[in-house]
Amino acid sequence: MSHNAELSTRMLDEKIESMDRGDLRSYQENRLLESLAYVERHSPLFAQVWGSAGLRAADISSLTEFEARIPFVDKDTVRAYRTTYGDPLGGLRRMADASVLSSTTGTTGDPVVLPVGHGEGVGLARDWWEIGVRPGDAVAFMLFTFRGPAWLTPHALGASCVLFDHHPSEFDRWCRASLELEPTLLYLLSGPLIMAMAHMEQTGVLPYALAEVFSSYKGVVIGGDHLGIQARHDLERWGGEPFLHTAVGDVGSATECREHDGLHASEDTVFIEILDPEGSSPVPDGEVGELVATNLVPQSGNPLVRYRSEDLVRVSTAPCRCGRTGMRLWPVGRKGDEVVIHGHSILPMDIWRAVESVPESAAGYFQLIRTGREMDVLKVRVGHNATPGGRSPTSVREDLIGAIEASVGIAPEIDLVENEVLLRLGPPHKIPRVASS
Amino acid sequence: MSNVNHWRVARPFGDDVWGYGRYGDDQLLPLSFDDMQHDTAGATAAVLSLGLPDRSVVVLTSTVSDVGYFHPLQSAAKDMGLLVCNADASTMDVDRVEMFIRLLDVAAVIGVNDALVDGIVERGHDPKSFFSSVPMVIASGRAKERMAATGVDALRFELVGPVLALSCRHRNLHFDGRQWDMVADNGTLLVSSRARRALPFSHFDTRRGGTVSNGVCPCGRRDPVVEIEPTAEVRGPS
């Protein structure tokens, strides 16, 4: 390798990743103006949305103008176009321009088809470089559904991939492969999978010293839900260092750096606005707002502009201790997950620790029952681990009511079910945190 | 614009390891970039033999651990201008497959396995109705049999040791004869690699019963045809 000095650096794209924020805004503006023209040519949806507002891409000459004039879209906008015009791609891109058809996860409704264009994006490579992946390494994938571009990332870093399903049936093979190939990154684990691994370890089904299995890993990327206390404890007990990871408005992703102080987004590829969830005013750093995303590289990714993700986040634009200047995010929940009980706003995150504090529900599997945003009674369906000779459901329920009331000030109604009931609602890396009944 | 070309990281190629898939009883299958390139060439012949219309939409269902078998199919289809949608061949991703079929003019669903059929039934669908708008469904042996019982006339694929065998439109199950040699020894199929591969095989016992022939197939594909006895299901999480 003729670039050893570069291999020792912490940033893959230091010039971009540590760019002064003023310079970054100029950089984004240049890319944005090119992007708008591309999107107008290739996306019937945006041509129509902007046309209805009396706008052309050429009318926008600055980021400030963009923020003031370009209309928002959301998943419903895409679905409505799909229904009205019979276009399965929701007008996002013409079929002839698509190279692969991806889709949203469908956790919160009918999945939306996302037509991916041609070319390569930055992907996850910067995040993985920061964690410590280097040329010649192996990266273990424990993944589902998503294909294609995923393999480009290790190859772009000079690494190879080791392929596993995101399923406990793969743990034995994963343990053997980890001991043999010594991968440096595991992409990705989730709360449900960690809990399953701990259970299989405790019951002797997985006859490996997991500390030894994890010893080659410099990091474990965590996807899906918030990482619960018990799952984090188990992972750290095995020596796995978790790196939280989230999607950024179906346009990009964000991952923790080794400082573990927020999730870094690649702002040279996505323009992020944090806005009042019920309006369009910007929300200051540190306050909860809705993430609104615009793809600055629509040629290769999903062509979304001012896309209201419904993801609630807090952000900071202060430099990170790692030296990166890009926005850091802390996911809080989903806009559609909020319930208001007698004027008191509650998100799943608000009761997570309370549920985990009861031993029988330490896995943190629960759902808010949401019949509307405003409700009279807080209803929670909680998964528990029923063991022969264990405590009675009545006793577990009483503890849960007490813990949640202590946490949010409202005594809930508890529907106690077995963990399996909630896990079956999948996808495999998370469960829907809100149910209508 | 920043992209991977600016990183000055030497991209692997040739004999370098592309990745590790799975074969047999949960064994690691190392695959080189050359292997993937050759397998993509073989997959091109396989996709051509299906006779799919230009710019068709294909739903490819597989598990991540079986990507070594299916990635070449995806690459070949993409190179040929087909549009590929991915879903997991597992019970949990049935809704995604259903969504693709409902919204898109899908010409083929390739890779249906037993777990996916389980999921279809669990969600209250009848396989015949589920696939009614899809002209071509390609399923593993047991899934094909189960769906046949409900009236779905599927083509077949099989994972035979490290080899993917895929039906052509004339229902002959071909495998890539440039990369693999397959012989029946006392009725059991043994696989050997013919070309240089990251992991060479020599008379690998697939524990599958069957026969191999080299007759001319009307699909035009020159690769050998294998007849495999019905047997255990292709792996995958349920």
| pLDDT tens readout for residues A251-281 | 889 999 999 999 999 999 999 999 999 999 9
A393 domain-assigned: yes
Q: Are residues A43 and A157 in the same domain?
A: no
A7 domain-assigned: no
B175 domain-assigned: no
**Least confident among A1-5, A163-167, B188-192:** A1-5
DSSP one-letter code for A271: E
pLDDT cut 90: percent of chain A above it: 71
Q: Are residues A90 and A133 in the same domain?
A: no
A11 domain-assigned: no
Residues within 8 A of B (CB atoms), A 160-189 only: 160-167, 169-170, 172-173, 176-177, 180-181
B177 domain-assigned: no
User: Would you tell me how many other CB atoms lie within 10 Å of the CB of residue A188?
Assistant: 23
Select from A335, A351, A382 the last residue of a domain. Answer: A335
A420 domain-assigned: yes
Residue with tokens 């469904």: B137
**DSSP codes of every residue in B27-73:** EEEEEEHHHHHHHHHHHHHHHHTTTPPTT-EEEEEE-GGGHHHHHHH
* pLDDT at residue A121, rounded to an integer: 54
Task: Mark B192-213 as b/e (b = at least 16 C-beta within 10 Å).
Answer: ebeeebbbebeebebebebebe
Which residues, in sequence order, are CB contacts of A26 under 8 Å at separation 6+?
Answer: none
In the predicted model, is pLDDT for residue A409 greater than 90?
A: yes
Q: Are residues A306 and A374 in the same domain?
A: no
Per-residue pLDDT tens over the stretch A333-385: 999 898 999 989 899 999 999 999 999 998 889 999 999 889 999 999 999 98
Taking an 8 Å cut-off on Cβ atoms, the answer to whether A158 and B10 are in contact is yes
Residues from chain B contacting residue A102 (CB–CB below 8 Å): 85-86
Q: Containing domain of residue B134, as a range?
A: 19-167
B119 domain-assigned: yes
Q: Are residues A232 and A143 in the same domain?
A: yes
Q: Can you give the CATH number for the domain in which A312 is found? A: 3.40.50.12780
What region, left, alpha or beta, does residue A230 occupy, with left being phi > 0 and alpha being psi -120 to 50 degrees?
Answer: alpha
Q: Are residues A100 and A180 in the same domain?
A: no
By Cβ distance, the residue of B7, B67, B96 closest to A106 is: B96
B222 domain-assigned: no
Q: Can you give the CATH number for the domain in which A345 is found? A: 3.30.300.30
Q: Are residues A305 and A346 in the same domain?
A: no
What's chain A's average pLDDT? Answer: 91
Select from A335, A357, A384 the last residue of a domain. Answer: A335
A426 domain-assigned: yes
B204 domain-assigned: no
B176 domain-assigned: no
B55 domain-assigned: yes
Select from A217, A248, A279 the last residue of a domain. Answer: A248
DSSP one-letter code for A57: G
Determine the residue of chain A that is closest to B69 in CA distance.
A163
Q: Sheet containing A434-435: which strands, arranged edge to edge?
A: A413-418, A379-384, A366-369, A434-435
* A369: β partners: A435
Name the residue among A143, A92, A57 with its Cα closest to residue A301: A92
A3 domain-assigned: no
User: Would you tell me how many other CB atoms lie within 10 Å of the CB of residue A174?
Assistant: 22
Determine the residue of chain A that is closest to B12 in CA distance.
A158
Q: Are residues A311 and A198 in the same domain?
A: no
A176 domain-assigned: yes
* pLDDT at residue A426, rounded to an integer: 64
Taking an 8 Å cut-off on Cβ atoms, the answer to whether B99 and A101 are in contact is no
Q: Are residues A45 and A112 in the same domain?
A: yes
Distances (CA, A) of B115 to A14, A193, B121: 45, 19, 10
* pLDDT at residue B234, rounded to an integer: 44
Q: Are residues A231 and A315 in the same domain?
A: no
By Cβ distance, the residue of A3, A100, A101 closest to B8 is: A3
3-state DSSP assignment of residue A346: strand
CB A114 within 8 A of CB A101: yes
Taking an 8 Å cut-off on Cβ atoms, the answer to whether B18 and A161 are in contact is yes
Tens-digit pLDDT string for chain B (238 aa): 333 445 667 778 888 999 999 998 789 999 999 999 999 999 999 999 999 999 899 999 999 999 999 999 999 999 999 999 999 999 888 989 999 999 999 999 999 999 999 999 999 999 999 999 999 999 998 999 999 999 999 999 999 999 999 999 999 999 999 999 999 999 899 999 999 999 999 999 999 999 999 988 999 999 999 999 876 544 444 4
Per-residue pLDDT tens over the stretch A188-235: 999 889 989 999 999 999 999 999 999 999 999 998 778 888 899 999
A428 domain-assigned: yes
* B29: β partners: B21
* pLDDT at residue A112, rounded to an integer: 76
Q: Can you give the CATH number for the domain in which B109 is found? A: 3.40.50.12780
Q: Are residues A361 and A321 in the same domain?
A: no
Number of domains in chain A: 3
Cα gap A99→A301, rounded to integer Å: 10
By Cβ distance, the residue of A13, A16, A113 closest to B103 is: A113
Number of domains in chain B: 1
Taking an 8 Å cut-off on Cβ atoms, the answer to whether B88 and A144 are in contact is yes
Residues from chain A contacting residue B96 (CB–CB below 8 Å): 103, 106, 111, 145
Q: Are residues A129 and A33 in the same domain?
A: no
Q: Containing domain of residue A374, as a range?
A: 338-435
Residues within 8 A of B (CB atoms), A 361-400 only: none
Report which secondary-structure segment, H or E, holds B159. strand B155-160
Any B CB within 8 A of A423 CB? no
Name the residue among B58, B113, B112 with its Cα closest to residue B86: B58
Q: Are residues A84 and A139 in the same domain?
A: no
Distances (CA, A) of B121 to A111, A365, A427, B61, B161: 20, 26, 18, 17, 29
* CA atoms within 13 Å, Cβ hemisphere of A289: 21
B96 domain-assigned: yes
